[in-house]
Amino acid sequence: MEPLVLGIESTCDETGVALVRGTELLADVTASSMDEHARFGGIVPEVASRAHLQAFLPTLTAALDKAGATLDDVDAVAVATGPGLVGSLTVGTAAAKALAVALGKPLYGVNHVIGHAVVDELVHGEFPERTMALVVSGGHTSLLLFEDSGATVTELGHTLDDAAGEAFDKVGRLLGLPYPGGPHVDRLAREGNPQAIPFPRALTAPKDMAKHRYDFSFSGLKTAVARWIEAREDAGEEIPVADVCASFADAVADVLSAKTIAACAEHGVTTLVVGGGFSANSQLRDLIAARGEAAGLDVRIPPLRFCTDNGAMIAALGSKVARTGVEASRLDVGVDSSMSLTSVTA
Ligand code: KG4
Ligand code: ZN
C-alpha cells in the first residue's frame, strides 16, 4: 500500500492539516485567522503565528478523526517550509519535526507554491510527463514548467511587483471595498463592460517581451486605475465602479492567460494547471478556459477549496515526493521565507 502522508500548511493565515494516500485525499481540515486580520486591512504576522499555535492541535485531531486514523498510521510527515511568513512557517515546521521525531517517520519539507499546482493530482490524477502550471494568489504569481512527471520544476516567469490577488485587493481598497477586495472586484466586474476603459497590459510590448517574455507586472496597472479614478473625481464625475472593475479585471486576465498559453505552445506542453487562491477569479477562469480550449490544451483548475491555502496541497506534494523516492529532509531543516521555486523539497 502507498504511504499515508500527513501534510501541514502554515505559511500565511491558514492552519491546514490533511491526510493523503497516493492521490487519494482522506481528510483536509483548515482553520483561518483571516477574521483577526480584516480590521488591519492586511495580514499581521505576529497575530498569524499565535493563531497557528492555538489552531494546530485541534486541526490535527480533527483531520485524524475525519480520516478514521491515528498518529500510528502515519507513514511520513510533510510540511511547507517556505515560501511564506517566517513566524508562521516556524510554527508548522516545529510541529512537523516534533511529530516526525515522536513517530520515527520521515519528514519532508516541501515548497508551498509547488503544492498549489500539485494539489490538482488529488482531483485530476497524476501529472503527465510535462505540465505547465500558473500559480496565482495574494502572494504569488508564477509560471512553472513541471518535467519528469513533476520531479523537475523550472520557473519560467513571475510577477516583478504585485501578485494578481494583491493588485485586486489594492484596487478594492481604492474603491472603498472591504478587505480582501479581490472577490468584491470580481463580483462588480461581472456587471461592467470590460472594454469600457483601455487599461495597460504590462510587459507585452515587443521590447519588454524580449526580456520578460513570461514575467508579469501589475503595479503600473493599479496606478493607472488610481489615476483614472482621481481624474474623474477631480472633474466631479461619478465613478462607474462596475466598468472600472471589469476593465481592470480584463487587463489582468488577458495578460495572465495570453502569456501562459503562449508558454504552453512554445514549450510543447498540452496540460495546463491553474492553482492558488486567485484562480477563483471568474474573469481569469473564463478567459483561460476559452483560450486554452482554442489552443487545444487540457486546462485543469481544481475546485476552489483546493485553491486557497490548505493542508491537502502539502499532503499531495508530500505524497508525490514520498512515492517517487525523493530523499527525506534533515530534522534540522530550516524555514525559508523566500524558498526558490525550483526547490520542490528542502
Ligand atoms: O491563495 P490565497 O487564498 O492566499 C494567498 O496565499 O495569498 O489567495 C488569496 C488572494 C487574495 O488576494 C484575494 O483577494 C484573491 O486571492 N482572490 C480573488 C478572488 N478570490 C480570491 N481575487 C479576485 N477574484 C476572486 N474571485
Ligand atoms: Zn498560497
Going by alpha carbons, the residue nearest to atom 15 of ligand 1 is 165
| Residues whose CB is less than 8 angstroms from the CB of residue 40 and which lie 6 or more positions away in sequence, other chains included | none
Query: Does residue 138 have its Cβ closer than 6 Å to ligand 1?
Result: yes
Residues in contact with 56: Cβ distance below 8 Å, sequence separation at least 6, in sequence order: 10, 15, 17, 91, 92, 95
| Nearest ligand, measured from the Cα of 80 | 2
Contact 12 CB / ligand 1 (< 6 Å): yes
For the stretch 162-186, pLDDT in tens is 999 999 999 999 999 998 899 999 9
Residue 39, pLDDT score: 83
Q: Is the CB of 157 under 6 A from ligand 1?
A: no
Sheet holding 298-300, edge to edge: 152-158, 141-147, 131-136, 271-275, 298-300
Confidence of residue 145 (pLDDT cuts 50, 70, 90): very high
pTM (2 d.p.)? 0.95
State which H helix or E strand residue 9 sits in. Answer: strand 4-9
Does 142 contact ligand 1 (Cβ within 6 A)?
no
Q: Write the single-letter amino acid at 115.
A: G
Q: What is the pLDDT of residues 106-131, one digit of tens each?
A: 999 999 999 999 999 999 999 999 99
Question: Which residue has a Cα nearest atom 1 of ligand 1?
Answer: 277
Residue 43 has pLDDT above 90, yes or no: no
Q: What is the DSSP letter of 181?
A: -
Q: How far is CA 338 from the centre of its chain?
A: 14
For residue 131, report the phi and psi dihedrals to the nearest 5 degrees: -140, 140
Query: Which residues are registered as beta bridge partners of 244?
Result: none
Residue ranges and CATH numbers for the domains of the chain are: 4-119+310-323 (3.30.420.40), 127-303 (3.30.420.40)
Ligand 1 pocket, residue 302 CB under 6 Å: no
The interaxial angle of helices 45-67 and 86-103, nearest 10 deg, is 30
Peptide bond into 83 cis (omega under 30): yes
Q: Amino acid identity, residue 88? A: S
